[in-house]
Amino acid sequence: MSSAPSPIGDDLVRVLASLANPHRLRIIAALARERAYVSGLARQLGISRALLQVHLRKLAAAGLVTASLELSEDGKAMNYYEVQPFVLTLTPEIIAAAAETLTVPDSVEQPGANR
């Protein structure tokens, strides 16, 4: 119930930014096939674990993937990631609507408040 009726501008930017990267597209692709744990996924994708962690965190921040810590049979802690079944449709009109809810860059701060 914390999901907004329609993607707020800032959220949209975050989602788009998280998708606008080759590594992260491949991560989504791999996880769409099947869930995986960090180390295994890193091997599968041929990238370092540290790098994968960063990208996973970004995807998670955008709400596109989720993590669940589990214990393997031999007691190892495994952090399994899986994609969230999203459907994102973009058109100029949809973007126009989202753009109106964009937060001001506010290099300093917002004029509103009680000022």
* Cα atoms in the 13 Å half-sphere on the side-chain side of 58: 19
Nearer to a copy of itself, 31 or 42 (CB): 31
Q: Which stretch binds a copy of itself (CB under 8 A): 29-37, 48-56, 69-77, 106-114?
A: 29-37
Q: Is residue 111 involved in binding a copy of itself (CB under 8 A)?
A: no
CB 91, min distance to DNA, A: 21
Residues 74, 27, 11, 87, CA torsion sign: negative
Contact 98, 6 (CB under 8 A): yes
CA 98-64-10 angle, to 5 degrees, is 25
The contact set with a copy of itself (CB under 8 A) reads: 9-10, 12-13, 16-17, 19-22, 25-26, 28-29, 31-33, 83, 85-93, 95-96, 98-100, 102-103, 105
